[in-house]
Amino acid sequence: MGQRRLFYGWVIVGTGMLVTCMGLGAMFSLSVFLKPIAETMGWSRTGISTVALLNWIFMGLGSFIWGTLSDRIGTRAVVLSGGVLLGLGMVTASQAATLPQFQALFGGLVGFAVGAFYAPMTAAATRWFTRHRSLAVALVSSGIGLGTLTVGPLARAIIDAYDWRIAMLVIGDLAWLVVIPAALLIRAAPAGEGAGAVASLDARGREFTAAAALRTPQFWAIALTHFACCAAHSGPIFHMVTHAIDRGVAPLTAATVLGVSGLASVAGRVTCGLLADRYGAKRTLLVGLAIQAVSVFLYLFTSATSAFYALALVFGLSYGGVMPLYAILVREYFGERIMGAAYGGVFLVSTLGMALGAWAGGWFYDSFGSYLWLYVGSGAIGLGAITIALTFRPPRRVGMAFPVPAG
């Protein structure tokens, strides 16, 4: 009796986790570099936070462009190209002599490169699965948390041993060593492999095109909820290390707090993926958004190291848990044929929220000398995300006599 072969969809999921871990981890490591760069180069926190704003803007544009390309030329070529550009961006940014150079290289080039990973790999995962689709998407998304858990503390350790330039150079080299070989494992799903039993239709009863999806109220409801959700948690994530240090936490411990948050976000993604398969993405999303908003407000009252660890755990579970649910909702509303473009568009809007929150944190600190108004504003925006999510309507679908082609 022969052994049962591993379903290749799980290899796609594992690859998605790996490249997302490396890509988003490298980009998120900027929060660890913030204080050393500011002290060494004399650049303001607002100036360095602007790099994060550029990261998210270019990642958003990249997600839409790369996602659309993945629908046409395949995910392997997209991820391979992104890996080459990510390593190039990190290595050249490590040698930047001026703030504008650093903003262009780490903000623009790295951000655009990272856009080639999450949205395209999420779209690829949805094409491989019928059962356990929410779990598969959640596992790909968990790569973001793994990146926060691993790359940030690694950067901090290298900074302590050498300096920020060596740390950034090493991470750029790792990006080439990890992403390029991993991209070669990516395959297109066989026709019908992950096809669902239903197709999503537009108002005229036709299967959605990318252009038609972008014109629907539901697309913008999902996108604006994702925007508000990301605007609520991006500032607290990006400034978590610096805020903890300002409150008296040791630098390496503060980086570990960020790592705990990243680890918790992995657990949150997997848990919410399982819950979405059972209870539905919308219900799971609403609960996660509520916990996230409460967690952000609690940062106003946190000062002890133990409290930072506890809050990082709850906050990570909530912000991580909601992230994969938007891809699941896009798949439910618009189908898999245009998944790369549709989810890339939603993710583009969400990255503007990530950019706003990260930049606003630096601006609030430089203007008022603390992060008080960052957490007040972020918590309020988090409540706004819940309000928008309540407007979601059931998708318009029809049964199909044959499977929808995957790819």
Buried b (16+ CB within 10 A) or exposed e, 367-405: eeeebeebbebbbebbbbbbebbeebeeeeeeeeeeebe
What are the residues facing 398 on neighbouring strands? Answer: 199
Q: How many domains does the chain have?
A: 1
Which of the four pLDDT bands, split at 50, 70 and 90, describes residue 196?
very low
Indicate the DSSP class of residue 207: B
Which of the four pLDDT bands, split at 50, 70 and 90, describes residue 388?
very high
Determine, yes or no, domain membership for 402: no
Q: Is the model more confident about 399 or about 332?
A: 332
What pLDDT score does 4 carry?
67
Determine, yes or no, domain membership for 197: no
Residue 405 has pLDDT above 50, yes or no: no
Determine, yes or no, domain membership for 135: yes
| Residue 177: domain span | 8-191+206-395
Mean pLDDT of all residues in 223-243: 90
What pLDDT score does 201 carry?
54
Residue 272 has pLDDT above 60, yes or no: yes
The pLDDT > 90 percentage for the chain reads 38
Residue 401 has pLDDT above 70, yes or no: no
Determine, yes or no, domain membership for 66: yes
What pLDDT score does 93 carry?
95
What pLDDT score does 303 carry?
82
What are the Cα distances from residue 75, in Å, to 160, 208, 324? 37, 21, 19
Determine, yes or no, domain membership for 332: yes
Which of the four pLDDT bands, split at 50, 70 and 90, describes residue 165?
very high
Determine, yes or no, domain membership for 1: no
Residue 66 has pLDDT above 60, yes or no: yes
Residue 146 has pLDDT above 90, yes or no: no
- Could you tell me the CATH number of the domain that includes residue 390? 1.20.1250.20
Which of the four pLDDT bands, split at 50, 70 and 90, describes residue 211?
confident
Residue 404 has pLDDT above 70, yes or no: no
Buried b (16+ CB within 10 A) or exposed e, 257-280: bbbbbbbbbbbbbbbbbebbbeee
383: Cβ contacts below 8 Å, ≥ 6 apart: 293
C-alpha 26/C-alpha 23 separation (Å) is 5
C-alpha 140/C-alpha 127 separation (Å) is 13
For residue range 24-45, what is the model confidence (pLDDT) as tens digits?
Answer: 999 988 888 888 998 889 888 7
What pLDDT score does 305 carry?
87
Determine, yes or no, domain membership for 377: yes
Mean pLDDT of all residues in 79-99: 95
Nearest to 33, CA basis, from 160, 207, 213:
160
Mean pLDDT of all residues in 348-376: 84
Residue 382 contacts residue 228 (beta carbons within 8 Å): yes
Q: Is the model more confident about 244 or about 82?
A: 82
Mean pLDDT of all residues in 311-326: 91
Determine, yes or no, domain membership for 142: yes
What pLDDT score does 403 carry?
40
C-alpha 117/C-alpha 66 separation (Å) is 8
AA letter at 267? A
C-alpha 233/C-alpha 159 separation (Å) is 26
* Model confidence, pTM: 0.73
Instruction: Name the most confidently modeled range: 32-41, 169-178, 205-214.
Output: 169-178
The average confidence (pLDDT) of the chain is: 85
Which segments of 205-338 does DSSP mark as H helices, in order?
210-214, 217-238, 240-246, 251-279, 281-298, 305-334
Tokens of 238: 């990006």
Mean pLDDT of all residues in 262-280: 85
Residue 407 has pLDDT above 70, yes or no: no
